[in-house]
């Protein structure tokens, strides 16, 4: 019971912080998700990178991971396209230094360090940066769209757990995650559709069909994203990615599904907006 109470209390305050930052203004929203991206990069590299000169490797990789998000957020806020070119140049310079620096660190596994740095940039940088495209429609910040996507994600995760605990018998992907069941997954998908319809009724912004597509992407791709992170942790032989969120683990543990479904939702929105 103590563990459940800690988990619930942490979840309450963390959810409140996210919603406060989303609805305060676009700058608090941008700042929050840049911090989340940085913390996720640090967590990922803390389990994969050579511990010698970790701060230097982590610093370079985190900076490189944040540049796409900063660039996209700046462009979406101010519509200054020249900043994109500057950001690309800076991104390439830092990226090259990630390769060069291994010459001087005398690591026994330089290729591995570079590979994990590159993966961190993609997984915690480029993927999370997708949210800065989603947040702006026609140049206007849309906090309700972000809240709707987050609410559908939370509904899918929460009801998948509840349905799985109550009715779960058939294992979904036992090799990777022994506790996930088809009953829980289908329950989460069903509630994701319910919350997608509620989001449409409350916020509009997109058609009901598009909101239902969001629900399908979030529940199906998000579940696969959860399994991807479980695969990573099983490979690294760790239980949690970190301990920054008592009762929940680390940032990667809480954002594993979001990090995988955000790029797909972004691709879908680009398609809807242009075709």
Judge residue 117's burial from the number of C-beta atoms within 10 Å of its C-beta, 0-12 exposed, 13-18 middle, 19 or more buried: buried
The tokens of 169 are what? Answer: 């018998």
Under 8 Å between Cβ of 40 and 251: yes
Show the tokens assigned to 69: 């998000």
pLDDT of amino acid 273: 81
Q: What is the pLDDT of residues 1-55, one digit of tens each?
A: 455 677 778 878 888 999 999 999 999 999 999 999 999 999 999 999 888 888 9
Contact 183, 168 (CB under 8 A): yes
Exposure string over 191-200, b if 16+ CB within 10 A, otherwise e: bbbebbeebb
Residue range 241-257, pLDDT digits in tens: 888 887 778 899 889 89
Angle between the N-to-C axes of helices 54-78 and 110-120, in degrees from 0 to 180, rounded to the nearest 10: 30
pTM of the model: 0.91
Region 79-98: mean pLDDT is 92
Helices and strands counted in the chain (H then E): 11, 4
Nearby residues of 37 by Cβ (< 8 Å), 6 or more positions away: 65, 66, 69, 124, 125, 128, 129
Long-range contact set of residues 93-99: C-beta below 8 Å, sequence gap at least 24: 94/60, 94/63, 94/64, 94/67, 95/64, 95/121, 97/60, 98/57, 98/60, 98/61, 98/64
- Sequential DSSP letters for 125-162: IIHHHHHHHHTEETTEE-HHHHHHHHHHHHHHHHHHHH
Nearest residue to 40 (alpha-carbon basis) of 267, 244, 264, 231: 244
CA–CA dist 245, 254 (Å, integer): 9
Q: Say how many CA atoms lie within 13 Å of 209 toward its Cβ.
A: 2
Judged against a pLDDT cut of 80, whether residue 138 lies above it is answered with: no
Give the pLDDT score at 1: 44
Instruction: Determine the average pLDDT of the residues in 128-132.
Output: 94
Rg of the Cα trace of the chain? 19
Per-domain residue ranges of the chain: 142-275
């Amino acid at each position: 019971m103590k563990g459940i109470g800690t988990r619930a209390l942490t979840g309450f305050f963390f959810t409140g912080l996210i919603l406060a930052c989303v609805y305060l203004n676009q700058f608090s929203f941008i700042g929050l998700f840049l911090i989340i991206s940085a913390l996720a990069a640090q967590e990922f590299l803390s389990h994969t990178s050579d511990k010698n000169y970790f701060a230097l490797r982590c610093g370079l990789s985190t900076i490189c991971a944040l540049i796409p998000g900063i660039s996209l957020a700046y462009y979406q806020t101010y519509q200054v396209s020249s900043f994109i070119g500057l950001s690309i140049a800076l991104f390439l310079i830092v990226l090259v230094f990630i390769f060069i620096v291994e010459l001087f660190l005398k690591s026994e596994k330089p290729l591995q360090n570079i590979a994990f740095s590159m993966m961190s940039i993609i997984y915690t940088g480029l993927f999370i940066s997708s949210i800065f495209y989603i947040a702006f429609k026609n140049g206007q910040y849309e906090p309700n769209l972000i809240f709707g996507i987050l609410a559908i994600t939370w509904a899918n995760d929460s009801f998948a757990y509840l349905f799985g605990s109550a009715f779960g018998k058939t294992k979904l992907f036992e090799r990777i995650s022994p506790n996930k069941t088809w009953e829980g997954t289908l329950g989460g998908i069903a509630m994701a559709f319910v919350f997608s319809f509620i989001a449409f009724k409350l916020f509009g912004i997109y058609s009901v069909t598009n909101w239902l597509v969001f629900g399908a992407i979030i529940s199906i791709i998000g579940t696969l994203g959860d399994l991807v992170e479980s695969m990573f942790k099983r490979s690294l032989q760790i239980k949690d990615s970190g301990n920054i969120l008592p009762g929940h683990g680390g940032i990667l543990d809480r954002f594993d599904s979001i990090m995988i479904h955000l790029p797909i939702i972004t691709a879908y929105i680009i398609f809807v907006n242009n075709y």
